[in-house]
Structure 1
Amino acid sequence: MNATTPAPAPRPRPVRTAATLVVLRDGSEGLEALMLRRAEKADDQNSGASVFPGGVVDAHDRRLHALCVGLDDAAASARIAVSEGGLDFYAAAIRECFEEAGLLFANDAQDHPVRLVDLPPADLAAMRDAAEQGTDALLTLCEARGWRLAGDRVVYFGHWLTPPGMPRRFDTRFFVALMPAGQEVHPDGRETVAHMWLRPADALDPARGLKLMNVTRRVLQQLDVFARADEFMAHARQLREIPLNMPRLADGPDGRRAVNIEEPAYDEIGHLDPEGRGDARYALEAGGVTRLSGRVLRLVSAAPEEAGSNSYLVGGTEGWVLIGPRPLDDALRAAAPGPVRWTVSTQPGTQPTMPPEWPAGTLDLGGATLKAVTGDDGTPCFLLVEERMLFTESGTATIAGADHPIEWIAPSQGFIQRPPAR
């Protein structure tokens, strides 16, 4: 069989900043979220998906700052942890919601929430048409009517970055607001073609058949914890630090998918595939061999009695060391890039026997230096100095009396991972 060359990853486009506004209300059975169905379009990764209102931050959104009340740029920037321009995201979220869903979070000249249902239908249609022409049109129509965008009714609660390797990437801030009284949802018919008010659990139900992007699914899962819309609003307002969520693409038994930051494989995928080719794995499969670096291979046992256990081959030009519970067998010898000269264990209660070639518990394998060390819990460990990778049974992230920082933990079961922050 001829070897095939993996297809190159799509050339990434520049990361674009964006804002999304999740609109909530209380239905007869509790919290409901507004979902819009995007129009079917070629070469659109969100084509036909059910989404929240949102879109790209326009270069002219800064001109809407003068229209915003309840929040200035300094406060908005501090809230979303940027040096300046934070109000751009709030303004973009409000603008996009009006363009796509026909909802406008604004106050009139008396500082009362704007009631669009009280406008003549022809006036409202003209406003929607004008808004679709660009940011300046929204600025003009609000100024003409004495309206101000209600930045204080829009609450920041999430930050997501599209995975590397995707043809279109967005750095998106997520906001939430309550459905404004005196308004009705009207999809624009161009970007969005239908709308639904759904309980998060119903939107997530596979039986409904919605096409959901990973980030939409994750936000719905967040919302599903709360019974009422005002409960989630209160939760969002009290958030202090909002982490960046950047999924990573990987392959596995269920096909290629996004892997989120709390999943066990996340750190390893980023280490093996920082460019997002999607060829790292999110599942450890029996008998699998993974090259973790030029110095390290991981082998997952195929034996039922050792299900999920890892053995590691570590080495260089002078030979290889087997670390793990398995005895050196034909499969391990075949996987090794060179001769396997030593076998050591990280199992608790064992003490590796150091041959003469390991002076002071250190072995130079030719470009790879392996040190026998003791974990802070007393278990035997081995440190690959060049990669600051610790091979350990227990998953300990520190070494008793060590002066070597650790960047990676290679456990006896599971994926390699970064040590927890201290």
Structure 2
Amino acid sequence: MTINSNTQSFSSLNGAIKVTQSSQAESSFTTQTKKLTDSVSIDISSNSESLEEETVIQARNGYVNEEKEARIKIMREYYSSAVEENNQFENPYNHIWDKYKNTSSPYYIQGLTKEERNAAYTNELRFQRNGKDNGNLMLKDDPIFKSGGPVSGGVIETAERKAYDREKVNGQFQSLLDKYNISIPQDTKLSFTIDPNTLKATVTGTDDETLAKSVEDVINTADNAKQLFLHISSSRSDDSTQYNAESSSKYGLVQNIKDVTGYNLKDLEIKDGKFVTEDGTDVFEIYAKKINENPNKSDFTKQMTLGSDGAELAKLARNGFDSVPDLVLSIDYQNGSFYDVKQSENFGTQKSGWIKEWKEALFDKKKSQGADSMTESDYSDTTQFTKKYDDIDLTNNKNNTKKDNKEVLSKEELMLKYLFGDGKESKEDNEKNQINNTSLKN
């Protein structure tokens, strides 16, 4: 983008990025000061016409539990061989029973715990019946996994998946910033709040309005804000205070109606207990017609969809759109990572270490006290592990970061450096000052 010397100002899309040219009458000191206090460098000359072009952020990123995949491979190889051996007997199933249940059989396997015996018997029986079609089903207490150590599953795997997705989203957001040459200053904490009806984000947390609006413009390109919304929702923990089932159902209904009809319930008038369009048409009539015309849905699915959504829509129209709070979701961002808010479990870069500690504690207890010792709270209550990570001050590494990257300075530091230098005198200067002071005293 070329700016004519007579141009006083120009603004970006939505007015988020604004540049005002200084008058030539201003002093060079004032001009230099303004440049030093800039907190964001933006060059959208080649991108301004394609801001809606690409959805970079993805709520889910294909997490694969590598530990589990490795165990499944071991299991398939082991039991495929066992099936070949079992088939050498007249009745393979009787032979499997003898190995795990018949203590008087010469084939009985000694030295297994109750959990190991039941798991091995079930796994081998499944493979005998279904072969490799057994798929990913496995019982982790199987003794063939003992030498490999514990493997994640269930709630632990869910937590690890959330942390994995967070790291991916962090990288995707950074690539989005890089695309438009936007730099968020070190230690700046931003808050993203997303409206569920428009799926647009508002960015707050900084006094730098230009920076906030620049980031806001970028996150609202294509479906990036929508994907961030879905990521926040999928990262929630059970004690989240910004999420509730009723508001989530309302969000789902609004999106269903909007996706099929193009109408947003929030913008429609309610008449006679119905959401109606500008010409007075019941929006549910349009919705039902579109659903019934969909060749990709079975009649059963159509019936269930219209029955469920129709009942929810009627209730919302009867009580009013605002009778159920909107599912407004927020998330913080600082120093390269998003961080969860209003919940105890955080999946941000420096605050997700609790997952490893929780996982190790569960496996240690199970190993030392047995599977029967495990309680529901062991798997549901993570607060004893999350507390110390919630208290981490993300600005603690500020000095270390500057040591690694000395060019990253705050606005105040840039101003001081410009006015007074870096505040460090050379050894030679110190020696000269000492000599001068001594001379003056004499």
TM-score w.r.t. length of structure 1: 0.26
Larger % of strand: which? 1
Larger of the two Rg values belongs to structure: 2
Higher relative contact order (CA 8 A, sep 6+): 2
TM-score w.r.t. length of structure 2: 0.25
